[in-house]
Amino acid sequence: MVLEEANRCLRCDLRFEISPVVFPPQKWLELTDENIQTVPELEGAIQVLNENQVIILIQGTANLRLTLEEQLKSNTKACYFNYYEDPMYTKRESELLQQFIQEFGRFPEGNEDLDDDLF
């Protein structure tokens, strides 16, 4: 019955009147010098993503901008990032890692050397 209704719906020209879906803006920034320069030199946590926008590293840091600059230079898989300002950056790092572990059942590939007992 669902297929019949769907096919019937697609036969009329009203489908051309439906506006395209507007997605929310991406929260990930491209890992470039220009974008990194907009990041404050404050404490916080970063998430680094590969070309498929899969998180490959979660890291707390005393200086967000410097850590992202290091990732840009050294991490060949890094393509995107997000950051969170937080003076309690180790707490924020732990929260982000725990969220990732709950969703995927493992650490991000850049965090695999962490001890499971820490979390």
Q: Domains of the chain by range and CATH?
A: 24-118 (3.40.1440)
Query: What's the pLDDT band for 110 if we cut at 50, 70, 90?
Result: confident
Buried b (16+ CB within 10 A) or exposed e, 103-115: eeeebbebbeeee
Percent over 90 (pLDDT), the chain: 62
DSSP category for residue 43: S
For residue 94, pLDDT beyond 50: yes
And the tokens for 3? 């297929």
Query: What's the pLDDT band for 63 if we cut at 50, 70, 90?
Result: very high
Instruction: Please indicate whether residue 2 or residue 72 has the higher confidence score (pLDDT).
Output: 72
For residue 118, CA distances in Å to 14, 26, 37, 93, 101 come to 56, 31, 32, 12, 13
> 26 φ, ψ to 5°?
-65, 140
Please state the pTM of the whole predicted model.
0.72
For residues 93 and 67, what is the distance between their CA atoms, to the nearest angstrom?
14
